[in-house]
Amino acid sequence: MNNTPSKTEFDLLRDAAFDDLDATSDAQLLCELQEDGFDANSLAREMKQAMHDAVSAALRTKMTIARSAVQAKSKKSSPARIRPALEALKKIVQDTLRANPGVGLAFRNGTRQTDEDYITLYDDLMETGAIERGEDGV
């Protein structure tokens, strides 16, 4: 035979406790806390911090889930890039910039673009449509 109270009994007990709490005045609650050796201000700070921590943890979890969803979608929608050889890629970028003077370009430290800059610029120009697929033989 199981002597464990049912969920309904716990619900009734919880409801009764909340009813009792609602019926108790603030002054009575403070008096009871002091009688039990608690500092109301300290307890309030601890409760506030606990609620803040719980909200922060929930928001972090929500952000992690959202970030994972975006990354999963990004992986599905962007196939692996196939690029031409670096020298051909540089020529395509330079030809595109010459053909489209409206496309601006800033040089690092006023000198020259690195190989990584060219690769990133190539990808950006592909995404914006300034370089069309097939133009580069890929």
Contact 33, 40 (CB under 8 A): yes
* The pLDDT value given to residue 94: 87
| Arithmetic mean of pLDDT, 38-42 | 93
Least confident of 17-21, 61-65, 91-95, 111-115: 111-115
* The pLDDT value given to residue 17: 94
For the chain, the three-class secondary structure string (H helix, E strand, C coil) is CCCCCCHHHHHHHHHHHHHHHHHCCHHHHHHHHHHCCCCHHHHHHHHHHHHHHHHHHHHHHHHHHHHHHHHHHHHHHCCCCCCCCHHHHHHHHHHHHHHCCCCCCCCHHHCCCCHHHHHHHHHHHHHHCCCCCCCCCC
Residue 79 has pLDDT above 80, yes or no: no
Average pLDDT value for the chain: 84
Q: Regarding predicted confidence, which is higher, 103 or 21? A: 21
Residue 136 has pLDDT above 50, yes or no: no
The sign one gets for the Cα dihedral 8, 10, 13, 15 is negative
